[in-house]
Amino acid sequence: MMIRPVASSLFFLLLVMSGGAAAQGTLTVTTDKAAYAEGEMISVTVRIDNTSGDYMHLPASTSCQAEFRLETDGETILDLRGQPCTADAITVDFPPGSWREWTWMLDTVALGIPETSGDHEVIGFFPGTEMADTTTISADAFIGGQVSVMVLSGVTETELAPVRSALNAEVLESRERSDGRTETWLIRGTSVDEAVATYAGDPRFGFFERQFIHLSFVSVDTENVPSAPRPGAGEHAALRVYPNPCRARCTVVVEGGDTRPLQVDGFDVDVYDVLGRRVRTLTLSAGEAAFDAQSRGTDGRFAPRLAPGIYFLAVRSGRPLVGHMVVGR
């Protein structure tokens, strides 16, 4: 079962006590598709429309606004309420007729979700209000996920080899420290809960625990949206990166339903790291933007060096187009 660490209960209490505005909006939750194969990214969007005709003001923080959770057979497998909230109280304002969307990209391989194949409920809500919505997706299980490991000083690679082999572990990151080293492992074929139960008390490790993975959203609202690039009749726009994973030259493309680039110019594609930090903005020309992931170029379209890892992309449009890319080593 995938449960995030306990959030700041004080901040959530403040949200509940302050309550929603008298005017209530309409909340909907959607995903980028209805069925996912093992290990595919899942995109979740929560949208609030103010259909009341009055101003609506919702209390929140910069890190906790609209939220969602995933359930399987009534059991929570991922709960955004477990994320730590910042204490910077803000107000999300909705003039009459306005809307706002929050989009998350879930790396199911890193998170190790879901642990069982089948149907799963995606429940979107806004804390402190009665607004909520539910949709159902079908997703194949990914058995594994990321774990945080402290390898104690004096433990040899020969001693670690059986553990890594048993967990089919890939070392994603390793940092030396005075009493050993801390590492991030991606394991496959064994659930994170089972791995932690097996190795948490192992004398080779100072700790062996589930990796805390911060889930950040990309937010788009009415006021910040330019005239949207629209596909032609019967087309469906999509944001894609070629190749993906990419190690050198990467091309971002906004495609129509026939996989041809849509003829959109001047729209920006924001690139975010896994902490939700915007690391680069690319400008589309004829539906495309190209950059070199591993070196600095002189062309204005080129991105600075990107560290290996997962990045999320979003085109700011009438309904945001989102995608992801993996930068390889």
Tell me the per-residue pLDDT of 132-188, one tens digit each, with 9 for 90 and over: 999 999 999 999 999 999 999 999 999 999 999 999 999 988 999 999 999 999 999
Range(s) of the chain covered by CATH 3.30.70: 144-210
- Residue intervals of the chain classified under CATH 2.60.40.1930 are 235-327
| Sequence-ordered alpha helix ranges (H) in 34-111 | 108-111
Residue 40 vs residue 318, higher pLDDT? 40
User: What would the mean pLDDT of 190-217 be, rounded to a whole number?
Assistant: 92
Least confident of 39-48, 186-195, 231-240: 231-240
* pLDDT, average across residues 282-311: 61
Of 301 and 251, the structure prediction assigns the larger pLDDT to 251
Question: Using CA atoms, how far apart are residues 243 and 38, in angstroms rounded to an integer?
Answer: 20
> Of 197, 186, 190, whose CA–CA distance to 143 is shortest?
190
Per-residue pLDDT, averaged over 12-39, amounts to: 68
Assess whether the previous peptide bond of 245 is cis (omega < 30° from 0). yes
Q: In this structure, which topology does domain 235-327 adopt according to CATH?
A: Immunoglobulin-like (2.60.40)
Q: Where in the chain is the domain with CATH 2.60.40.2360?
A: 9-141
Q: How many CB atoms lie within 10 A of CB 291?
A: 20
Residue 141, C-beta contacts closer than 8 angstroms, at least 6 positions apart: 38, 114, 115, 116, 117
Q: Where are the beta strands (DSSP E) in 178-216?
A: 180-188, 205-210
Contact 142, 114 (CB under 8 A): yes
pLDDT band at 48 (very low <50, low <70, confident <90, very high): very high
The residue that leads in pLDDT, 322 or 202, is 202
Determine contact, residues 199/207, Cβ cutoff 8 Å.
no
pLDDT at 286 over 50: yes
For the cut 90, the answer to whether the pLDDT of residue 200 exceeds it is: yes
Nearest C-alpha neighbor of 102 from the set 63, 143, 155, 56? 63
Is the confidence at residue 194, as pLDDT, over 50?
Answer: yes
The predicted structure's pLDDT at residue 291: 67
Instruction: Quote the pLDDT of residue 198.
Output: 97
The yes or no reply on domain 9-141 and CATH 3.40.50.720 is no
pLDDT at 68: 92
Dihedral sign for Cα 6, 35, 132, 56, please: positive
Residues 6+ apart with CB under 8 A from 7: 64, 81, 82, 83, 84, 85
63-67, 257-261, 320-324: range with highest mean pLDDT:
63-67
Segment 219-233, tens digit of pLDDT: 777 776 544 444 443
Mean residue pLDDT of the chain comes to: 78
Percent over 90 (pLDDT), the chain: 36
For residue 193, the one-letter residue type is D
Residue type, 36: Y
DSSP state of 261: B
Answer with the residue of higher pLDDT: 199 or 107.
199
Other beta carbons within 10 Å of 101: 22
Q: Would you say residue 296 has pLDDT above 50?
A: no
CB count in 10 Å sphere of residue 178 = 6
CATH level 2 (architecture), domain 144-210: 2-Layer Sandwich (3.30)
Q: Name, in order, each residue with C-beta under 8 angstroms of 154's C-beta and a sequence gap of 6 or more.
A: none
Residue 12 pLDDT > 50, yes or no? no
pLDDT at 227: 45
Mean pLDDT value of segment 273-300: 64
94 pLDDT more than 80? yes
Q: What is the pLDDT of residue 270?
A: 79
CA distance 42 to 122: 11
Give the pLDDT score at 143: 95
Question: How far apart, in whole angstroms, are the C-alpha atoms of residue 179 and residue 69?
Answer: 38
Residue 264 has pLDDT above 70, yes or no: no
